[in-house]
Structure 1
Amino acid sequence: MKNLILSFLLITGSFSSFAQVVGENNTEFTRADTLRGSLRPERTNYDVKSYHLKLKVEPEKKFISGSNIIAFEVLNDMPVMQLDLFDNMKIDSIVYKNKNLDYRREFNAVFINFPEALQKGLKDSLQFYYHGHPKEALHAPWDGGFVWTEDDEGNPWVGVAVQGTGASLWYPNKDHQSDEPEEAQMDISVPNGLMDVSNGRFLGKTDLGNGFTEWRWKVVNPINNYDIMINVGNYVHFSDKYKDLDLDYYVLPYNLEKAKKQFEEVKDMMACFYEKMGPYPFPEDGYKLVEAPYLGMEHQSAVAYGNHYQNGYLGRDLSGTGIGLKWDFIIIHESGHEWFGNSITAKDIADMWIHEGFTSYTEAIYVECEWGKEEALEYLQGLRGNIANDVPIIGKYGVNSEGSGDMYYKGSNLLNTIRSIYDDDELWWNTLKDYTKTFRHQTVSTKQVEDFFNKPIETDLKPIFDQYLRHSSIPELQLKEENDQIWYRWKAEVKDFSMPVDVFIDGKEKRLRATSNWQKINSEEDDLGDIRVNKKEFYVDVRKM
C-alpha cells in the first residue's frame, strides 16, 4: 500500500490511500530530485547483487548503527559509484579491499571514488558503515520513516515505512527501483527480550552478551529497496500452511487469539489469488503477516499489518457499498502486492500505477471469488468516488515523481474496463496469470504492460491506456438525437480516440465501436432516455446532448 495518499484524509473521512506520494502535482524539480530519480553512469555502470545489513537498533535512543555489505557487478568501467543515504545519517567509513574510500555527499547522494576505475565484469563488494537518528514518520505509512512507540504493555515497538520517501532514509543502497538485489540478509540486533522480524526465512539468533540479541533473516529472491524491513517488538509466533506455502504470523501477545481468528482469511485469499493470478511469487521466502504500529505496507514476505483485527479499512468501507466490510482490507490489499509491486516492480516510480492499480484490482478479484462478479463490479464502481481525475496517473520520469493518487482506483477501474473490452473472461484470467508468470521477479515499464495486454485481442488498447494514464480526464461518450436517429462519439484528449463500449437498448446489451467521429446506432430505438451505458463494466463519462 503506498505511494500515494494524497493526504491523511482517509482517516478523517474523505478519500485516502496508503502511503507517500512523491512529487505529485510538481512541475518543477530540484537537483536533489534528479540525483534520486535519474539513471546516470554512476548508477548504471554497476548492478547490485546483494545487500547484507548488520544493524543495531536502540529504541530508547531512537538510534541505529552498523553497516551494509553491498555486493555488485561492474557493467561498464566505473571510476565513481553513486549510493544513497539521507544526509542526516552520518557516514563512518566506506571500505573496499580493506581501505577507506574517498567520497563526497550531495543532498542524499553519496559519490564514492575508487583509486582506479573498476573494470567491466568485476564482481566484488564494499562495506558501508554509518549511524544516526533516522527520519521519523509522523503518520506512517502516509509519510516515510521510523515509528518509535510502545505496545499496550509498555514494551518498545518499532516499525519502518519508507515507500516513496526512500529506503535510503535508514540504510545505504542504490535507491532506485530499476535495480533490485538478488538476495538480502538482515542481521538485526535489538535489546534482549525483544524480537526482530524481517523479510524471508529466519536463520537464527545470538545473544551478544551486551544486552542485545541478533536476529538473522535472509531473502533469496529479488527484492525492491523499500520492501527490506525490520519490525521490532515483543512478538509471539504462530504458523499455518496453504498447500506447500508456509504462513507465519508475528503478533503482540495480547492479540494472539484475535489474530488466529482474523488471519484465517489468508487461506481463502491464497486460494483465490492462486486461481486468478498464479502461484505465490516467493515460496522460498515464505509468507508472513507482522503486526505493525502503523496501518500496513507490502513488505515482501513480511507484510506489515496494523488494521486492528477488523474488517474493512480501519473499520470503514472505501467503496461506500458495504462490500468492503466483508473482508480485511489490509490483509487482501497488502498481500496482493506480493504479485504486483514486489514480484513485478515498476522501473521508475512514475509508473507506480503498475503496483497500485493492479493491487487495487486484487481487492475486486477477492470479492469476485468470495461473493461473485456482480458484487465485484459494484465494489469497483463504488470506489470511483475516491477518484479525483485532476492529474495524470503517470508521473514525470527520472525525477522521483510518482504521479497521481488516482493510480489506485482509476488504475483498477481501467483494468476492469480492459477486461470488459476483452469480453472473454477465460482469456482475461489466462492473460493476467500469464502476465504474472512472464514478468515474475522483474522490473517493467508502462509500455511493456501496455504491449502485453494489447497482444491477445484485436482491439487496439494503446489509445485507451494513453487516455486513462497520461491525461487527467476519462473519455466522455456523447449521445444525441438528430433526424430521428441516435448518434454517438467519444470526446477525449487522445487524437482519433476509439474504444468499444457496451450499452443497453430496450433491455438488450449492444456493443458500440465508438470513435471520435459521429456514428449512427443501427437500431429502431430513437429515444435517448431508453439508452443506458453499462457503467459498471466501463469507467466512462456519458453526456446526452
Structure 2
Amino acid sequence: MNLKLIYPILLFTSLISISTATAELFPKLAIDDHQQNIFRGTITPERAWWDLSHYHLDINVDPINKHISGTNTMKYIVLSKQKRLQIELQAPMQLNKVEQNGKVLAVEQLGYSYFITVEQEQEVGKEYQLTMHFSGHPRAAVRAPWDGGITWNKDDNGHDFIASSCQGLGASIWWPNKDHAYDEPNNGAMISVEVPEHLMDVSNGRLVKVEHNKAKQTKTFHWQVTNPINNYGININIGDYVHFGEKYQGESGELDMDYYVLRDNLDKAKKQFKDAKRTIEAFEYWFGPYPFYQDSFKLVEAPYLGMEHQSSVTYGNGYQNGYLGRDRSQTGAGMLFDFIIVHESGHEWFANNITHNDIADMWIHESFTSYSESLFLEYHYDQEIAFEYIRGKRLNIQNKSPIIGQYGLHQEGSGDMYDKGGNMLHTLRQIIDNDDTWRSILRGLNKKFYHGIVETAQVESYISDKSGKNLSKVFDQYLRDIRIPTFEYFVKNNQVQYRWSNTIDGFDMPVRVFINGKAMWLSPSNKWANISVDNEQTEDKADKVQVMVDANFYVSTLNLLGN
C-alpha cells in the first residue's frame, strides 16, 4: 500500500561492510538478535523509498526432501531517488541471486536482511520489478501456528499434508519479501505452486488455472489475489483435498464461499462448516461488508489449529465446537460455535482488512477478533449469553505485561491482547452506552481504514471521536498498564464515598453502578467523591446500602468497610 505511516528513520548504512568471506553467497556481516530485530522492526531508509505494488511467488514444493525453490518477482513504485533496497529471507532458506532487466544485481547480507543495489536510475513515480531466486529447506514449524514455519505432515491415508504458518515469525521464514507490516502490495499477488500430480495446493484468492507437467508428474496451481494482502497472510496448503462450496448473498453482492478438506473428512466438513456462512452473516452486520469479495472466502483444512490467512482461512479444530472441544469461557456459551471458524474468519476484518503498522500493535488484530466471538453469539443467540461469554474469558487474563509491545523492535505485546483486549472493548461499549453508536463505530473502522495500515493512535482517536467521549485514559490503562482499576467505596452517614485506585494518574472512566438496585452513572477519579443515599431506603443504616458495579465493566470492586 502507499506509505501512510513512517516511524523516525534510523540510519543503519554505516553498519554495512563488505566481507571477503568466500563461504557466503553474498558479502555478509553477522549481527546479534537485538540488531536483527531493529532491522526487522524499523522502516529503514532502504525500505522507505519504494512502495510495494505486486508479488508473484512462483515455487516448487518437494515433499520428499522438504524443500522449496523458486522465484519472487516483486513490483514496486519509486517514491524517492534511491538505489538500495532491503528485503528479508530467514535461514536456512538461501537467496541465490537477484535480477533486474536481465542483469544480476549486487547484494549484501546483514543477518537475514538483504540489501540489493539496483543498477538503473530509479525514476520517481515509475514502477519497476526485480526477481529474487531462492531455495532451501525452510524451517519446520515447531508448534504451529504459534511457532510457525512449514508443517510437513501426512494424512491418515499416507498422503502429504503440508501448510505454512508464519504470523510473528514472518513470511521471510519461507520466501523473500519486504517483511514489515507497514507496506502491502497495492495490486495483490499471484501465487503459483508446483506440487506432485496427486496433490492439490490451495492458496489465497481465486484459482485461475492449473498446469500439468507430465514429464515431471507435477501440477502447478495459480492463485490470484486482487486486493492488498499482508505478507504473513500469503499461504500454501497442500494435500489430498476435495472441494465443496456455496454462495452467500451479502452486503456487497454474491460471495463465493469455498471449502477444501481432506478427502475422508468431507461429510464432517459439510456439517461443521455451516458455521462459516453464519459467521459472515454476523460479522457483516457488526463490521460491514466482507472486505474481499473479489478474492472470495475459503476455509481450508490444515495440519494445525488454524490461522487467518486472507481469503484462505485455515482450519484444524477437529470438526467440533469450542476450542479443541472445550469452552475457553467456562460458561457453556463457547460450545455453541466452532471457535476456529468464528475467530479466524473474524480476522478478515481485523488483521486483513485493518492491519497494524507495527507488530507492537497486534492488539488491533487480536482484541477486536477475540471480542467478535461474543458478537457472533449476540447476533445468533442473545445478548445475555454473549455478555456472559466475554466476561467468562477474564479467567484467562494474566496481567503480567502490557498489551502493547515495544515499537521498532518487531516485538508484540502480551497474550492478554486476546481476552483482556476483548474485555476492554466490551467495557468501552458500556461507557458509550448506545448499541447503535457502538455498531456504527465497528462498521466505521472497517470503512475508514478499508484495506489500510493503522497504528493504535488512529484507532483510539476514531473511537473517541465517534463516541463523543475522551477515552484516552481508558486506552492508556488497559493497553499500556497491567493493573485492573479498582472501584473503592465505603458507606458512612448516608453517603457512598468512592474513588478509583490501582490506576494510572488521571484515570477518569465513568462507570455504571447499582445502589440498592437502582442504576446510576458515577464519574470517579483518583480522589474521593461522594453521593447521598436515599434515607428512606437505607433507614439510616449503612449496612443496608448495597453497592454493585455493573459486571460488564472490567474492574475490581473493594468495599473498604466490608459492610
Bin of the TM-score, shorter chain as denominator length: over 0.9
Task: Kindly report which structure 2 residues correspond to 1:358-507, keeping only aligned pairs within 5 A, or say none.
Answer: 358-507=368-517
**Alpha-carbon offset, residue 267 of structure 1:** 1.8
Distance apart, 1:381 and its partner CA: 0.8
Output the CA distance in 2 between the equivalents of 1:373 and 1:117. Answer: 60
1:286 to 268, 274, 296: 296
Other-structure match for 2:198: 193
Give the drift of 1:114: 2.2
In structure 2, the residue matched to 1:265 is 275
Name the SS of the counterpart of 1:205 in structure 2: strand
Q: Do the aligned residues in 2 keep the contact of 1:480 with 1:528 (CA within 8 Å)?
A: no
Preserved CA contact (<8 Å) 1:204 1:217: yes
Q: Would you say the 8 A contact 1:467–1:492 is kept in 2?
A: no
Please give the secondary structure, in 2, of the residue aligned with 1:94. Answer: strand
Asked if the contact 2:486/2:557 (under 8 Å) is kept, the reply is yes
Distance 2:545 2:143 in 1: 48
- Partner residue, 1:239: 245
With over 3 angstroms needed to count, the CA separation of the structure-2 counterparts of 1:482 and 1:507, relative to structure 1, is closer
TM-score, with length taken from structure 2 = 0.90
1:174 correspondence with 2:178: yes
Is contact 1:480–1:488 with CA below 8 Å preserved after alignment? yes
- What is the distance in 2 between the residues matched to 1:368 and 1:532? 24
User: 1:82 aligns to what SS in structure 2?
Assistant: strand
- Residue 467 of structure 2 aligns to a residue whose secondary structure is coil
Any residues of structure 2 matched to 1:56-455 within 5 Å, and which?
56-115=60-119, 118-182=122-186, 183-209=188-214, 210-243=216-249, 244-455=254-465
Structure with bigger gyration radius: 2
Match of 1:13 in 2: none
Whichever residue aligns with residue 155 of structure 2, its letter is D
Q: Aligned equivalents of 2:61 and 2:272: distance in 1?
A: 30
* SS class of match (1:496): coil
Shift of 1:487: 0.7
- Between 509-518 and 174-183, the greater mean CA deviation after superposition: 509-518
What CA RMSD, in Å, does the superposition of the two structures yield over aligned residues?
Answer: 1.3
Q: Which residue of 1 aligns with 2:522?
A: 512
What is the aligned length? 517
- What is the distance in 2 between the residues matched to 1:181 and 1:459? 36
The separation in 1 between residues aligned to 2:132 and 2:356, in whole angstroms, is 27
Task: State the Cα distance separating 1:29 from its structure 2 match.
Answer: 6.8
What is the SS of the residue equivalent to 1:479?
strand
Separation in 1 of the partners of 2:180 and 2:474? 29
Q: Distance in 2 between matches of 1:431 and 1:296?
A: 28
Corresponding letter in the other structure for 1:323: A
1:481 Cα shift?
Answer: 3.2
CA contact (8 A) 1:479 1:528 kept: no
In structure 2, distance between residues paired with 1:120 and 1:544? 65
Q: How far does the alpha carbon of each residue in 1:22-71 deviate from its partner, in whole angstroms, 9 at most, with x for none? A: xxxxxx97001101101111011110101001100001100000000000
Structure-2 separation of matches of 1:328 and 1:521: 46
Amino acid at match of 1:91: L
SS at match of 1:499: coil
Deviation string 1:132-187 (CA, Å, 9 cap, x unpaired) is 00011121012011000100000001011100000000011000000011210001
- One-letter identity of the residue aligned with 2:53: K
Deviation of 1:492 after TM superposition, in Å, equals: 4.0
Give structure 1 stretches of 5+ with no counterpart.
1-27
Greater relative contact order (CA < 8 Å, ≥ 6 in sequence): 1
- Per the alignment, do residues 464 and 100 of structure 1 end up closer, same or farther by CA in structure 2, a change over 3 Å counting? same
Matched-pair contact (CA < 8 Å) for 1:528–1:544:
no
Q: Which amino acid aligns with 2:548?
A: R
- Distance, in Å, in 1 between the alignment partners of 2:261 and 2:144 is 19
Say if 1:94 and 1:100, in contact at 8 Å, map to a contact too.
Answer: yes
Name stretches of at least 5 consecutive residues in structure 2 with no aligned partner.
1-31
Deviation at 1:455, TM superposition (A): 0.7
Tell me how far apart the structure 2 counterparts of residues 460 and 527 of structure 1 sit (CA, whole Å). Answer: 36
What is the deviation of 1:486? 1.7
Counterpart secondary structure, 2:83: strand
Q: 1:275-327: CA deviations, max 9, x gaps?
A: 11111000000000000000000000000000111000000100011110111
C-alpha distance in 2, partners of 1:395/1:423? 30
CA shift, 1:504, in A, is 1.1
- Displacement of 1:79: 2.1
Q: Which residue of 1 aligns with 2:5?
A: none
Identity %: 46
C-alpha separation in 2, matches of 1:534 and 1:258: 42
